[in-house]
Structure 1
Amino acid sequence: MTLISWRLGRSLVWDTTCVDTLAASQIQATSSMVGAAATIAEQAKRRKYENLDSSFIFVPFGVDTLGPWGPQARALCKELSKRLSSLQDPIAGSYLGSISQSNFS
């Protein structure tokens, strides 16, 4: 959870999960779509926290064991990188962006 306001006066709360891409329960989805396990995991986290107090912004952060990130994880990292880049420090956002360039595209 962020200690300062993330957006609209609300703190950011995230829950990260790493899903086994090759698990029997995931193989049908992951065999037809790259990142499917992370996307499904993010959807499950969203349902789990659907009753979270509206004073928070919730972001599910899903990652597959073979590398792909879920759409919410990618979006959060893009926003973090953008915010860091706006800090007038020329290298502020570069470290985050170098973690996995393919995950931000």
Structure 2
Amino acid sequence: MGRALVWDATCVDTLAASHLPSTSQKAAAAAESAQMLKRRKYSVICNDYVFAALAFESLGPWSSDTKNFINTVYVYIVTKIGPYVSGDPRAGAYLAQRLSLAIQRGNSASILGTMPISEQLDGLYLL
């Protein structure tokens, strides 16, 4: 379409008190809410740019726009001609796995950041 892509990614806490009423009723509710807020925030640039609001939850669910965006990127990686084409039909799965692992690493860093520094805990986990 001749417009640059602008994307904003966020990862919201599934178990936050503000999200718990909705996430306990429907999977990805917090991600969908975050996606809507991002779309509202960037609505002024949508005429000049292609905007993608990527929203993930800390326990795994993705918003609907995020799934669509990743599927579009997957199709491009596998089928289009260019320097980033892999041709491997598993490329989309690899991309999704890398994103999921990044979220898990962030969760681990958050948990480890709350642990006290102590030599007694050295044997509990390996870094």
Partner SS state of residue 13, structure 1: strand
Unaligned runs of 5+ in 1: 1-7
Q: Are 1:80 and 2:77 an aligned pair? A: no
SS in 2 for 1:10: coil
Q: Deviations over 1:40-81 (max 9, x none)?
A: 000000000111152201110000000001111110000000
The structure whose residues are more often strand, as a share, is 1
2:18 is paired with a residue whose SS is coil
Shift of 1:34: 0.4
Where in structure 2 are there 5+ consecutive unaligned residues? 98-127
Task: Say yes or no: does 1:90 pair with 2:87.
Answer: yes
- Find the counterpart in structure 2 of residue 26 from structure 1: 19
Compare relative contact order (CA 8 Å, sep 6+) and give the higher one, 1 or 2.
1
Could you tell me how far apart the structure 2 residues matched to 1:86 and 1:53 are?
A: 27
Q: Matched residues in 2 for 1:63 and 1:53: separation?
A: 21
One of 33, 40, 45 as aligned partner of 1:40: 33
What secondary structure sits across from 1:14 in the alignment?
Answer: strand
User: Comparing both structures, which one devotes a greater share of its residues to helix?
Assistant: 2
RMSD over aligned Cα atoms:
2.0
Identical-residue share of aligned pairs (%): 34
Using the alignment, how far apart are the partners of 2:75 and 2:37 within structure 1? 27
Name the count of aligned residue pairs: 94
Moved >3 Å (runs of 4+)? none
